[in-house]
Amino acid sequence: MAEQPSNPLLRPLADGIVPAEVIARTEKRWLMIMTAMLGVMMAIVVVTGIAGALHPSSNVEVVDPTTLHLQGEFVESNLGTAIEPDGSVTVRIIAEQYDFVPRCVRVPAATPVKFRLTSADVVHGFLLPDTNVNTMVVPGFVAEVRTSCAGPGEYAMPCHEFCGLGHQAMWAHVSVVPKDRFPAQSPRERTSCATE
Ligand code: CUA
């Protein structure tokens, strides 16, 4: 009969029981594989972040948040819904504590709509229920989202980024009117939802 090793870990084991050194070797291999997988995943995050140029929810269009009302695209007279030569519309809105300016905009149904938003102070959120529109509005950047509203109706637009004590009261509205009724709307009706 062969002599038993003095180290109990090296003694032959009953069938089905794996010796401790085999377990240690296997665990070490799996540890190396897991570390390599973590390294690969970290590398994917870094490489796609740099190569894909991940950036704030905008087209990296910058704008000076301190002079919005004085010059450029977001002066007061340029806010609200504008009709483009191709028949689509562009809506320009400023988000600020604790309101959207203008508070209500009117857009035609079944028409491409481009929202361009920026913030005058802190980060706000812009969400149009039942559409694909959902973006952060970051000061210093112009957020642009495109959609098309299926039918006439009134949409409430909540600010969904906590922006201060008045956050929960920060709502705006989009009034969607039938496409054929839209051209008859005056600029005041388009930017304030007034009825004339
Ligand atoms: Cu603006 Cu919350």
Q: What is the pLDDT of residues 160-171, one digit of tens each?
A: 899 999 999 999
Polymer length in residues for the chain: 196
Which pLDDT does position 51 carry in this prediction?
A: 82
- How far is it, in rounded angstroms, from Cα 106 to Cα 81? 7
Ligand 1 contact via 146 beta carbon (within 6 Å): no
Ligand 1 contact via 161 beta carbon (within 6 Å): yes
User: What is the C-alpha radius of gyration for the chain, rounded to an integer number of angstroms?
Assistant: 30
Which pLDDT does position 57 carry in this prediction?
A: 63
Ligand 1 contact via 189 beta carbon (within 6 Å): no
DSSP 29-76: HHHHHHHHHHHHHHHHHHHHHHHTT--SSSSS-B--TTSTTTSSTTSG
Q: What is the pLDDT of residues 19-50, one digit of tens each?
A: 888 889 999 999 999 999 999 999 998 998 88
CA 96 to ligand 1 centroid distance, Å: 8
Share of the chain above pLDDT 70, in %: 90
Ligand 1 contact via 96 beta carbon (within 6 Å): no
> 50-64, 86-100, 172-186: which has the minimum mean pLDDT?
50-64
127: left (phi over 0), alpha (psi -120 to 50) or beta: beta
Measured on CA atoms in the order 35, 38, 43, 44, is the torsion positive or negative? positive
Beta strands 104-108; 171-177: pairing state: parallel
Mean pLDDT of the chain: 85
Ligand 1 contact via 172 beta carbon (within 6 Å): no
Which pLDDT does position 7 carry in this prediction?
A: 72
Which pLDDT does position 179 carry in this prediction?
A: 86
The residue whose CA has the least distance to atom 1 of ligand 1 is 124
CA 103 to ligand 1 centroid distance, Å: 13
Ligand 1 contact via 159 beta carbon (within 6 Å): yes
**pLDDT score of 1 more than 60:** no
CB 123 within 8 A of CB 161: yes
Beta strands 134-137; 124-127: pairing state: antiparallel
- How far is it, in rounded angstroms, from Cα 73 to Cα 116? 10
- How far is it, in rounded angstroms, from Cα 83 to Cα 91? 9
Structure tokens at 164: 């201060």
